[in-house]
Structure formats: structure tokens, C-alpha cells
């Protein structure tokens, strides 16, 4: 039986999702959203390796290193002590995705969750001791890198402070450190990214942060990811190549302009062939939290309505000379170590 035939006979679980559908569907979604959020995160079988690699992808998309000065106070006004350095790693998610943050906190065995009423968001915070306990050793031991430009820059500052044993904010020359980063930061091309051994798990985490499973008003299903900055364009190209395959080796994705001439790189997949590959990939490489719920309902809509257009366009591309060869290119049927 074909993959389409197999998927058509799967028993679907209709859980809440935020889709771009009509008002009636969105109303149903909102009333049921909280009912299934916990079930999408309770995956006790996920291995520590897969867990932390997905977590790194999530950090790359929605996380941040909060590094700044921490003022010290002294009752003796004549003595003005130097500021120490505040180091934290955080992830902010909407309040409905609190269970996902709790899942990571419990599985990683560290961190703290707080709530921002003004933003209606929960935040998972890892302090310096938490980072040194869990994240940093794993990154070092397994030679894992952050892929987005901002996260690479933040992590470089973190390592510089750590490796040079810098205790006070006044001792940092941020301009010099920034110049060092520019000189040492290697350019990761899409061929490098797609061949990383942790790429699939990273992509799952990155999709949780930045991916979108949506349906337009005309009933057409899409999977899309957007990134800003030219430095992140190779990430978008890697994801595009991963889904489209070797015949798209010699294409580049053109940016569009956003506010203040910011370059935006977007890929959107809607053809039957591509969506079936995407469904298969995320069936074998599980999403977590609300994004898992969104994917499940997006998939159910597609299959129940048989609503994939055979000839739907993906992205507008132009050819460019590039004869690089990739070893691990296209999505295959092998399951990841879930």
C-alpha cells in the first residue's frame, strides 16, 4: 500500500490547533486547546540524546542568552564594588505551552519556570550553574553548535567569559569580543548543516520554535519556516533541500524585504509530494507541546479531506551555479532514535 493509502487509514486524534480556517473551526479549536496540551508533551520514551538535541533546536529558534552586568552594593559609599556578570539561558513560550517547559525542566533536571503577566508567557530559565551542569558539557562533548547567527554570537560571549574566567562586567571589552567573533565564526553552508549528525532532532526543535503548520482560507495546507538576516539564509536553504531533494541543489532562495530593509527568508511547502514527506518525517521524529497538537490536526485535516493539491507551488527560486555534493540529502524512511 502506498504511503498515502497507509496514512489515509490511520486513526486520527482530533486535538486543538490554531489554523487559518474559518471562524467556526477556530472557535472549536480554542475551546479544546487546553484539554490535550499535556498529552502532547508526555513522551517518556524519548532518549536523553534526542531530548537535548531537540532542546538545542528550540533554543536556536526561541531561546536566548541573557548576559549582562549585575550591580553589587556596599553599605560603604566610598567603596564602589565592580559589577559581576549575570548569565542566564531562557525560553519564552505562550502560556498555553507551559507543559512543554515543565517537560524540559523535569527531564533536564534543572531550571526554573516563571510567568510574565504582561506578555502572557511562561519562561524557562537556566542559570549559569544549570548551563554548566547540563547544556555546556553536552555541547562540548558532542561537538554541537548553535546554528542561528544571534545564538552563535551569544554563545561565543558566554564561552569567552567562561574560558577566560572573567568575573566582572567592567573587565569585558565587548567591541573586541565582537571582532573576535566575526573573525572566528565559521560560515555554515547548507551542505554543512544538513550533514550534521544531530540535524534531524535539531530541525524538530527548531520547528517547535519557528515552524508553522497552517491552512489558508482556500483550504490549501502549508508547512513553512521564516528566518531573518542573511546569515541565517543557509539554514532555510538546508531545510528546503532536505525536503525537496537533490534536484534542487542548484537553486537559491531569494529574500524579501521587511521593516527597515531587514532580509526575510521564507520557505513554504504545499505540494502533495512534499507534504507527504513532511508528514512522514514528523511521524518518525516527534514534535512536542502545542506544535505536536498543531501538526496532528493539520495532518488530520489533510488526510480526512484528501486536500493536497498535486501541483501546488512551493517557493519561487532562481538557479545559481553550485556544484557542491551532499552526502546525506533527502528525507528517507528510516526512523530516528525516538
User: What CATH number does residue 61 fall under?
Assistant: 3.10.28.10
d(C-alpha 250, C-alpha 241), whole Å: 10
Q: State whether 66 and 26 are in the same domain.
A: no
d(C-alpha 198, C-alpha 238), whole Å: 13
Mean pLDDT, contiguous 10-residue spans, the chain (338 residues): 38 32 34 48 78 96 94 71 93 93 95 90 96 94 95 97 95 96 93 95 97 90 92 93 82 67 85 92 96 94 67 34 35 43
d(C-alpha 16, C-alpha 267), whole Å: 25
The C-alpha angle with vertex 292 and arms to 289 and 295, in degrees rounded to 5, equals 150
pTM: 0.78
Distance from the Cα of residue 338 to its chain's centroid: 18
Q: What pLDDT score was predicted for residue 78?
A: 66
Q: What pLDDT score was predicted for residue 105?
A: 96
Q: What pLDDT score was predicted for residue 256?
A: 75
What are the start-end ranges of the E strands in the chain? 63-70, 84-94, 112-116, 121-127, 211-215, 221-228, 251-253, 256-257, 263-269, 317-319
d(C-alpha 263, C-alpha 240), whole Å: 17
d(C-alpha 63, C-alpha 48), whole Å: 19
Backbone angles phi, psi at 56, to 5 degrees: -65, -40
Q: State whether 175 and 99 are in the same domain.
A: yes
Q: At what angle do helices 272-284 and 289-305 cross, to 10 degrees?
A: 140
Q: What pLDDT score was predicted for residue 307?
A: 54
Q: How many structural domains is the chain composed of? A: 2
| 170 part of a folded domain | yes
Q: What pLDDT score was predicted for residue 257?
A: 64
Q: State whether 224 and 301 are in the same domain.
A: yes
Q: State whether 175 and 205 are in the same domain.
A: no
| 203 part of a folded domain | yes
Q: Which residues pair with 63 in a beta bridge?
A: 91
Q: What pLDDT score was predicted for residue 280?
A: 95
Q: State whether 174 and 207 are in the same domain.
A: no
How does strand 221-228 pair with strand 84-94? unpaired
| 332 part of a folded domain | no
Tell me the residue range of the domain where 276 lies. Answer: 3-42+190-319
Q: What pLDDT score was predicted for residue 255?
A: 76
What is the number of other CB atoms lying within 10 angstroms of the CB of residue 282? 22
Amino acid at each position: 500500500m502506498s504511503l498515502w493509502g497507509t496514512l489515509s487509514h490511520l486513526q486520527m486524534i482530533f486535538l486543538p490547533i490554531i489554523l487559518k480556517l474559518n471562524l467556526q473551526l477556530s472557535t472549536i479549536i480554542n475551546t479544546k486547546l487546553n484539554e490535550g496540551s499535556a498529552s502532547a508533551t508526555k513522551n517518556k520514551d524519548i532518549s536523553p540524546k534526542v531530548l537535548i538535541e531537540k532542546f538545542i533546536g528550540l533554543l536556536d529558534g526561541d531561546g536566548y542568552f541573557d548576559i549582562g552586568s549585575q550591580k553589587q552594593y556596599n553599605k560603604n559609599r566610598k567603596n564602589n564594588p565592580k559589577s559581576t556578570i549575570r548569565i542566564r539561558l531562557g525560553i519564552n513560550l505562550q502560556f498555553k505551552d507551559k507543559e512543554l517547559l515543565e517537560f524540559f525542566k523535569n527531564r533536564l533536571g534543572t531550571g526554573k519556570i516563571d510567568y510574565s503577566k504582561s506578555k502572557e508567557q511562561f519562561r524557562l530559565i537556566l542559570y549559569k550553574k544549570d548551563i554548566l551542569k547540563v547544556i555546556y558539557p553536552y555541547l562540548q562533548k558532542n561537538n554541537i553548535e548553535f546554528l542561528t547567527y544571534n545564538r552563535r554570537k551569544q554563545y561565543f560571549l558566554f564561552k569567552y567569559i567562561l574560558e577566560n574566567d572573567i568575573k566582572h562586567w567592567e573587565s569585558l571589552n565587548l567591541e573586541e569580543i565582537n571582532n573576535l567573533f566575526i573573525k572566528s565564526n565559521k560560515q555554515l553552508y547548507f551542505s554543512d548543516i544538513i550533514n550534521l549528525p544531530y540535524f534531524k532532532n535539531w530541525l524538530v526543535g527548531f520547528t517547535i520554535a519557528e515552524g508553522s503548520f497552517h491552512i489558508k482560507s482556500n483550504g490549501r495546507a502549508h508547512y513553512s519556516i521564516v528566518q531573518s538576516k542573511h546569515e541565517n539564509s543557509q539554514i532555510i536553504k538546508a531545510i528546503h533541500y532536505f525536503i525537496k531533494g537533490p534536484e534542487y541543489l542548484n537553486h537559491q532562495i531569494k529574500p524579501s524585504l521587511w521593516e527597515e530593509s531587514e532580509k526575510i527568508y521564507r520557505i513554504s511547502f504545499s505540494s502533495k509530494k512534499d507534504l507527504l514527506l513532511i508528514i512522514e518525517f514528523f511521524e518518525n521524529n516527534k514534535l512536542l507541546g502545542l506544535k505536536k497538537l498543531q501538526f496532528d490536526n493539520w495532518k488530520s485535516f489533510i488526510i480526512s479531506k484528501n486536500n493536497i493539491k498535486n501541483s501546488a507551488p512551493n517557493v519561487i527560486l532562481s538557479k545559481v551555479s553550485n556544484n557542491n555534493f551532499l552526502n546525506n540529502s533527502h528525507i528517507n524512511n528510516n526512523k530516528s532514535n525516538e
